[in-house]
Amino acid sequence: MKKTAYFCMEFAIDQALKTYAGGLGFLAGSHFRAAKRLNQPLVGVSILWSYGYYDQVRDVNGDMEVKYIRKYYEFLEDLNFKFSIKINNRDVWVKVYKLEEDVFNTCPIYFLTTDIPENDDFGREISYRLYDANNLLHVAQEILLGKGGYIAIKELEKDVELFHMNEPHSLPLVFKMLSEHNLSYVKEHVVFTTHTPLPEGNEVQDLNFLNSMNFFEDVSLEVAKKLGGEPFNYTACALRVSKKANAVSKRHREVCEEMWRGLKDRCEIMAITNAQDRHYWQDSIIKEAAEKYDIDLLRERKLELKEILFEEVADQTGKIFKKNRLTVVWARRFVPYKRPYILLYDERKLRELIKKKKIQVIWAGKPHPADSKMIATFNYIVSKTRSLKGAAILTGYELKLSKMLKQGSDIWLNTPKLKHEASGTSGMTASMNASIHMSTLDGWHVEWAKMYPDDSFTIGDGVRDDDEYVANCIYSLLSDVSDLYDTEAWWIKACNCVNHIVEYFDAERMAKEYAEKLYK
């Protein structure tokens, strides 16, 4: 593969480094751990968020609260390298830090910050908060990542040959390149990954607004309009300026082909299905027990991991969970299409399942800090679980809690609306830890269910998708699964799940595929 610079708004590398919001960062982190083990020439470019995404805590009443706490990192290397770029017709100074390979055993990553004394309040705030809801700051962040990242790479990694945009946030790098080279040159040196399965999910901005922000560098409005249209569509532009592009699952590629069928002059879109790093996520004793089909050891270890998770549940909520009960977890970003509320669709049926079938339910996940509806949904679940014995919702869904939930659960529940999930990866890491995936037929689950239909549970028929139907399918499945739980057949199924998931959904396969298909 060619030496490649990988541009991404977020990286989930370690619990100590708060530079991520969710799945995009988790994916980037796994890619960089696997690429390091494979000795691939990959370098990362991102932003050093002074306040991270946000800290999800509880207020005086126990409801979710958004807190911004400044982060400090002594393990990042100060390169003593600064430069200025134009953002919103002003000079903004950029400072570069480096995460060296040996800190967390990843490929190196350059982190950019504008939170330095040389800048005014606007300039400093650009790198304060990941995915800032203020559109002016949001676009400024994209310019920092793309244009600032390109300048940093050209200075610090002179032998980089390819620039990979993981999502189109870093699109300004293309216009920086176009100010120096022609379009043919750019198309030979840029590749792109899309994670968006919906037309409305593709970022669109006013062309003149972007121009006023210096998004297009010295490139004319006429050229920008030709590439991205008016209003300006980021994904359409990325597909027109890239050598190759990829979707992140086979189902997602089909959706993308349908979505972009009428777009002229675009590159090909291939499928490279997402994966996660088993070396980071998988418990070693679970792995050993499953490989030997040592059911007693697997059960013993699973109960130990449940105890660790249930200590966290008790600490946060004052609820004592029982380790011999089927434990169902719904944990991921709180967004409407993922349907975090679905288990509570028929509260009477859920209460009956918990009481009669002896199951336990845990929710966790972060809404966007400006998404008042999803914060209200989170707090609605908080209120419901207070009077619902055997149900709890946890705050602080980051790498540490995510690993705890995946290792301590029995069922990993995934409920996206059909054709809304590009891939999803949380169920992969749960499956690596003997937590069986229960999902609607979307994203990566389509491939998993086809490969090994007995290693997971599929919700519904993959056609009907209304909430009432999906909820009733879940209640019926959980009722059946609770009867299977903790039998010999259950633990054999769990062993199969652990053993089979890593055959294809481990990050080393994914990293090799990127090297062979996208980075050549």
Which tens digits make up the pLDDT trace of 271-330? 999 999 999 999 999 999 999 999 999 999 999 999 999 999 999 999 999 999 999 999
CA neighbours closer than 13 Å in the CB half-sphere of residue 266: 21
β-pair partners for 239: none
The overall average pLDDT reported for the chain is 97
Helices and strands in the chain: count of H runs, count of E runs: 22, 19
**CATH number, domain 278-504:** 3.40.50.2000
pLDDT tier at 125 (50, 70, 90 boundaries)?
A: very high
Q: What DSSP element (H or E) covers 5?
A: strand 4-7
Alpha-carbon span 308 to 250, nearest angstrom: 36
What local confidence, expressed as pLDDT, does residue 200 receive? Answer: 75
Q: In what order do the strands lie in the sheet with 42-47?
A: 77-87, 90-99, 109-113, 42-47, 4-7, 162-166, 190-193, 244-247, 269-271
Alpha-carbon span 507 to 195, nearest angstrom: 17
Q: Who contacts 229 (Cβ-Cβ below 8 Å, separation ≥6)?
A: 236, 237
What local confidence, expressed as pLDDT, does residue 457 receive? Answer: 98
Instruction: Determine what percent of the chain is predicted with pLDDT higher than 70.
Output: 100
Q: Measuring CA to CA, which residue among 291, 320, 289 is closest to residue 306?
A: 320
Q: Measuring CA to CA, which residue among 171, 244, 228, 235 is closest to residue 198?
A: 235
Q: What is the 3-state secondary structure (H, E, C) of 426-459?
A: HHHHHHCCCCEEEEECCCCHHHHHHHCHHHCEEE
pLDDT tier at 139 (50, 70, 90 boundaries)?
A: very high
Structure tokens at 336: 């409407």
What local confidence, expressed as pLDDT, does residue 201 receive? Answer: 82
Q: Which amino acid is at 398?
A: E
Helices (H), 387-422: 399-408
Quick check: helix, strand or coil at residue 350?
helix
Q: Are 382 and 64 in contact (CB under 8 A)?
A: yes
Mean pLDDT value across residues 477-502: 98
∠ CA 88-92-93, nearest 5°, is 165
Q: Are 125 and 137 in contact (CB under 8 A)?
A: yes
Q: In what order do the strands lie in the sheet with 411-414?
A: 391-394, 359-364, 326-331, 411-414, 436-440, 457-459
23 pLDDT higher than 90: yes
A 10 A CB-CB count for 116 gives 14
Where are the domains positioned within the chain? Answer: 4-276+509-518, 278-504
Rg (alpha carbons) of the chain, rounded to whole number: 23
pLDDT tier at 449 (50, 70, 90 boundaries)?
A: very high
Q: Who contacts 48 (Cβ-Cβ below 8 Å, separation ≥6)?
A: 19, 73, 76, 97, 111, 112, 113, 115, 127
Q: Who contacts 2 (Cβ-Cβ below 8 Å, separation ≥6)?
A: 41, 161, 162, 519, 520
DSSP calls for 192-258: EE----SGGGS-EE-HHHHHHTTTTTT--HHHHHHHHTTTEEHHHHHHHH-SEEEESSHHHHHHHHH
What local confidence, expressed as pLDDT, does residue 199 receive? Answer: 78
**CATH number, domain 4-276+509-518:** 3.40.50.2000
Domains 4-276+509-518 and 278-504 share a fold: yes
198 pLDDT higher than 90: no
pLDDT tier at 258 (50, 70, 90 boundaries)?
A: very high
Mean pLDDT value across residues 390-396: 98
420 pLDDT higher than 80: yes
Structure tokens at 501: 């998931």
Which tens digits make up the pLDDT trace of 328-373? 999 999 999 999 999 999 999 999 999 999 999 999 999 999 999 9
Alpha-carbon span 386 to 318, nearest angstrom: 10
Report if pTM > 0.95.
yes
Query: Is it true that the peptide bond before 231 is cis, omega within 30 degrees of 0?
Result: yes
Alpha-carbon span 388 to 69, nearest angstrom: 32
Instruction: Determine what percent of the chain is predicted with pLDDT higher than 90.
Output: 99
